[in-house]
Structure 1
């Protein structure tokens, strides 16, 4: 296999594009974030990276909270549109026909009703890194659509039809290739009795 050598780049792909809601319930805003990630599990923490000149940057920095809303195939147009329009100029919820609701843990921070999973986040640290500042945040609440739960309460995110973003393109998530630990799981050796 032949490879070309390029200068350093942010080609870590695909990534989950997320719709981050912020502001107030009276004036909610959405921003599309391509750079979001899990930081740790205990406490549950995530990060988002935002350019300081973006409208949402100060809304989040001043309030100290935001919600990460996982988008579905049905929300892909809103994901793209909210990434190229500014909340300074337009009400993104209204323009896209979307609905803001109070969070469960942070009732004064809007969640996106149309999203099947909403992660309510409280900022713990802002780290200036260059073109973007990273907001580290603790996930203090999580709203999950009950349609994604089975009769035992297990979450099935595959039913949500979530999307991914890779090098300028949006993609539907495809088929399952395995489950965590499948590569080391011992195969059953029991034979059926007659």
Structure 2
């Protein structure tokens, strides 16, 4: 007989740092559950309405998705445990901007995406943010024969619906 769970078991997923300009200053928050859809043209994540970064997403209608590596675990923990109201999380990183100019990205992250908000869904006390991926960036060290090799990005994975811990990506099986 199978064990029943009340929560979603679709995990692990990569931890991401979502970036936004809040009052013209870069800020980042941790999202442990993010989903691409429409063959990766869009990204969806849920955001608690009281989060500081939310105001920047609403101000500019843009955000970034940055995939930190294991080497950024300490900074990722800060971004997930401290509010931008009290800590300058933009100062933790070397920030850069792409085509959108209002979606701060983290140079130390091997993978980055800049997104334009296409829809915001209200389901109090949270919001669902849907963003269109405008452009993606990858460090050349993460490529094998010109194609992305996620193993080389060393993403931090987070398991929900289980033990709620961090993991690393394993070996290719085929």
Return the TM-score normalized by structure 1. 0.81
Query: Which residue number in structure 2 is paired with residue 77 of structure 1?
Result: 74
Whether 1:155 aligns to 2:151 is no
1:80-159 pair list within 5 angstroms: 80-94=77-91, 97-103=92-98, 105-150=99-144, 152-159=145-152
Contact 1:106-1:141 within 8 A present in 2 as well: no
**RMSD over aligned Cα, in angstroms?**
1.9
User: Aligned with 1:142: secondary structure?
Assistant: strand
User: Aligned with 2:77: secondary structure?
Assistant: helix
Q: Which moved more, 1:133-142 or 1:167-176?
A: 167-176
Name stretches of at least 5 consecutive residues in structure 2 with no aligned partner.
none
Task: Tell me how many residue pairs correspond in the alignment.
Answer: 171
Whether 1:165 aligns to 2:150 is no
> 1:108 deviation in Å?
2.9
Contact 2:22-2:55 within 8 A present in 1 as well: no
> 1:171 deviation in Å?
0.8
Q: Which has the larger radius of gyration?
A: 1
Name stretches of at least 5 consecutive residues in structure 1 with no aligned partner.
179-194
Greater share of residues in strand: 2
